[in-house]
Amino acid sequence: MGIRDSFKLLTAADLLTAQQNADLVTASLSPVWSPESLYNYATTTPIVTREASMSVPSVARARNLICGTAAGMERIVRDKRTGARIEPQPLIFNQPDRRVAGSITYAWTLEDLLFFGKSFWRVKSLYAETNRIKEVERIQPERVDTKLNALGTEIIEYRVDGKTVPTAGVGSLVTFWSYNEGLLAVAGRTILSAIELEKTALNYAREPMPQVTLKSNGSILPKERIQALLDAWAASRKARATAFLNADISFEQLGFDPERLQLNTARQYIALEIARAANVPAYYLSAETLSSNLTYSNTIQERRALIDFSLAPLIHAIEERLSMPDFCPSGQVVKFDLDTFLRGDIETRVKTYETLVGIGAMTPDEVRQQEEFLS
């Protein structure tokens, strides 16, 4: 570069390139666990609102099944190498916000991951001796927006209610990311279809007759007379199915009855699609019939399948985030306790205990403690 280049005036394009290069260097130096990491769906806008989605029974059932089941499980800190439970358990992992029960905070955190693909906790306090997070509060995803770098590839700033929050410490955000954009974006059109079907069902519940038109064969009626005629028709149909029309009014059917519309079939199909989108076995939403030969033993297998395919992605997202250095010391991990949910019947447990005691893996006292814990 010659000496003249030192005095060269920079254009807007040159300044943008310099800024982009600086942002790229900053991004490459950012720690992988920092909240600045951006996923390709961080700014995805849901197609349908959460409130509207919860008006669909299949969506509400899927949400309650996933979030309610996982939220009721205890969170345990374990040694990463040996798997041994570490005592005492820090309070934050089972009651992140001391103002409310821990299961409530986790239920809404899981819902955020399920619906929006992301969830946020705001740090309220830290442990003075370790500077790790001590207490948080959940922040609704709709309240959070982001500022991206010049390339749109990285989050450089979070804002809550329009106000910038710190990148670390008290007031900063703990971010959880799901494995996709969230149900409201992925299956938004399917949910909208379900909402429209519910509206159609409501209309037929209010007026169980097909859509009809009343036509005047005589003079043109004023607006008030037409409205009175329609009101009288609606009131009469609620009282009796048979109607009488004089020569001045004719009747014409325009729509179809629910059977010809196959309304029930359509609603069942939409419920099946919602089950697919939510990774929930269809029979849990009554979207398909479960075999009548269901027994206790294969119920346990179905619970295992529910965890593996429905709960695991969301559970792992929370476990891995809580196992990061701002929550846990090195060598420790946070896990959801699945034992109670997957416990077998008493006969199966007795046989298992006999085997474990026989090979010296458990003692009778440990068996008693385990049974007391499960009960």
Of 23, 11, 34, nearest to 321 (Cα)? 34
305, 299 in Cβ contact below 8 A?
A: no
Question: Does residue 69 or residue 267 have the better pLDDT?
Answer: 69
As a whole-number percent, the residues of the chain with pLDDT over 90 amount to 38
For 129, the 3-state DSSP assignment is coil
Which residues are 333's β-sheet partners? 78
Asked if pLDDT for residue 118 goes beyond 90, the answer is yes
Structure tokens at 5: 């280049």
**Run of H or E including 185:** helix 183-186
Tally of CA atoms within 13 A in the half-sphere of 143 that contains its CB = 14
Amino acid at 110: L
Give Cβ neighbours of residue 5 (< 8 Å, ≥ 6 apart): none
Q: String of b and e for 333-364 (b: at least 16 CB within 10 Å)? A: bbbbebeebebeeeeeeeeebeeeeeeeebee
How many angstroms separate the CA atoms of 91 and 88, rounded?
9
Half-sphere exposure of 171 (CA within 13 A, CB side): 10
Q: Give the pTM.
A: 0.70
More confident site: 320 or 222: 320
According to the model, what pLDDT value does residue 356 have? 76
The pLDDT-based confidence of 197 (bands split at 50, 70, 90) is: confident
Position 31 pLDDT exceeds 60: no
Among the residue ranges 23-37, 128-142, 227-241, the one predicted with the least confidence is 23-37
pLDDT digits (tens, 9 = 90+) for 153-166: 788 889 999 999 99
Higher pLDDT, 329 or 265: 329
Tell me the β-bridge partners of 249: 216
- Per-residue pLDDT at 140: 95
3-state secondary structure of 273: helix
Res. 288: pLDDT tops 90: no
Instruction: Express the helix, strand and coil content of the chain in percent, nearest 5 each.
Output: 45, 15, 40
Percentage of residues in the chain with pLDDT exceeding 70? 70
Q: What is the pLDDT of residues 315-333, one digit of tens each?
A: 999 999 999 999 999 899 9
**Would you say residue 30 has pLDDT above 60?**
no
